[in-house]
Amino acid sequence: MQDKINQIQQTAEHAVDACTALEEIEQQRVRFLGKKGEVTLLFQHLKNVPVEEKPQAGVLINTLKDHIHNILQLKKERLETAQLEKQLLSESIDVTLPGQNSGFGKIHPLNRTLHELVDIFHSLGFSIAHGPEIETEYYNFDALNIPSYHPARDMQDTFFLENGMVLRTHTSPVQIRVMENKKPPVRIIAPGRVYRNEAINYKSYCLFHQIEGFYVDSAVSFAELKGVLAFVIREFFGKETQFRIRPSYFPFTEPSLECDIMVKGKSGWMEILGAGMIHPQVLKSVGYDPQQVQGYAFGMGIERITMLRYGIDDIRLLYDNDLRFLAQF
Ligand code: PHE
């Protein structure tokens, strides 16, 4: 009997020690202490033991039973603790790890130019107006003294829509829309997108931005136009920037001019805007009396100005949304 008890005790200790999961503990409990378990069977063998040895044998089997019960309980608690630790570890955050950086956004170079120019014009007393990008031919052309036979209406330049409308080719139609609704004096700038059906290359794109500006009052002079342009150019590009104006032609201004600037470190003159005194025909088309009021107008290309300022040599970079390019500003 003693040998049998020793043998069961050893087997049980090894088996319990080898358990790696709670289910296995339960299996071992059934194996030794269950209804048909090895220890339970020992009690049944008691009846074959001689009477004088019975009490002692009973004590031994009970001790074995308690022992196995204890080591099962101990192993169970150890496995539970290990499981809990594993769970806690997987749920915890290491607060000493470096944070995840999501990076800062920046203002697009075109918008920077736009905002700065708008601020400069604000300081001169100009207010902002907006007009639609889908325009009628009347506002984009006729009212601006561009008759239907004018080359600017050529299919090459204008996106014509199926419903007879056009994508505005310049911001000048906003002049007409504002003047139709407001009596002089008007002093307005109109920034926005314009579209041209041109071959796309390093210096032209199918869409770009302009700022239109105009001032109409009872005594507006060409000299004032020149002064305003000089002020804006020097504020934006710096006091040393040289500029020149050349005679030009636009159907909606008379006389007309184009303005070039010489940016430090760049050779040659670069054209940045067209301007002139608003044509009497245009004033008439909005119901103004050209004998009573005059005005000047100008339109400047934002892409051109941005490229000159930052030394960008391909207009398409401004529309590619390539972070390697945009992060430089
Ligand atoms: N609308 C002209 C253009 O797009 C620019 C301009 C505006 C010229 C106002 C004169 C007066 O080229």
Side-chain-side CA neighbours of 314 within 13 Å: the count stands at 8
Same domain, 87 and 130: no
- Domains contained in the chain, number: 2
Same domain, 311 and 193: yes
Among 63, 91, 119, where does a domain finish?
A: 91
Is pLDDT above 90 for 279?
A: yes
Side-chain-side CA neighbours of 217 within 13 Å: the count stands at 12
The SS3 call for residue 192 is: strand
Residues in the ligand 1 pocket, defined by CB under 6 Å: 170, 172, 212, 250, 253, 274-276, 297-299
Q: Considering only CA atoms, which residue is closest to atom 9 of ligand 1?
A: 298
Higher pLDDT residue, 6 or 188? 188
The crossing angle, in degrees rounded to 10, of helices 22-33 and 2-17 is 170
Which residues lie closer than 8 Å to 180 by C-beta, 6 or more apart? 286, 287
User: Which atom of ligand 1 approaches the CA of 275 most closely?
Assistant: 10
- For residue 238, the CA-to-ligand 1 centroid distance in Å is 24
Same domain, 87 and 123: no
Q: Kindly state whether residue 128 falls inside one of the protein's structural domains.
A: yes
Which residues lie closer than 8 Å to 64 by C-beta, 6 or more apart? 5, 8, 9, 39, 42
pLDDT recorded at residue 231: 97
Same domain, 80 and 113: no
- For residue 82, the CA-to-ligand 1 centroid distance in Å is 79
Residue 217 φ/ψ, nearest 5 degrees: -160, -175
- For residue 258, the CA-to-ligand 1 centroid distance in Å is 9
Is pLDDT above 90 for 1?
A: no
Kindly report, residue by residue over 241-274, the tens digit of the pLDDT: 899 999 999 999 999 999 999 877 777 898 999 9
Q: Kindly state whether residue 164 falls inside one of the protein's structural domains.
A: yes
Q: Among 167, 209, 250, say which to mutate for ligand 1: greatest number of ligand atoms within 8 Å of CB.
A: 250
Average pLDDT of the chain is 92
State which residues form the domain around 295. Answer: 109-326
- For residue 297, the CA-to-ligand 1 centroid distance in Å is 8
Q: Kindly state whether residue 35 falls inside one of the protein's structural domains.
A: yes
Q: Among 145, 207, 252, say which to mutate for ligand 1: greatest number of ligand atoms within 8 Å of CB.
A: 252
Q: Is the Cβ–Cβ distance between 32 and 68 less than 8 Å?
A: yes
Q: Kindly state whether residue 101 falls inside one of the protein's structural domains.
A: no
Residue 210's pLDDT band, with cuts at 50, 70 and 90, is: very high
Residue 155's pLDDT band, with cuts at 50, 70 and 90, is: low
Q: Kindly state whether residue 100 falls inside one of the protein's structural domains.
A: no
Q: Considering only CA atoms, which residue is closest to atom 4 of ligand 1?
A: 170
Among 91, 126, 141, where does a domain finish?
A: 91
- Which of 63-72, 260-269, 290-299 has the least mean pLDDT? 260-269
This prediction's pTM:
0.71
Kindly report, residue by residue over 282-292, the tens digit of the pLDDT: 999 999 999 99
Q: Considering only CA atoms, which residue is closest to atom 2 of ligand 1?
A: 299
User: Which atom of ligand 1 approaches the CA of 170 most closely?
Assistant: 4
E strand or H helix that includes residue 324? helix 323-326
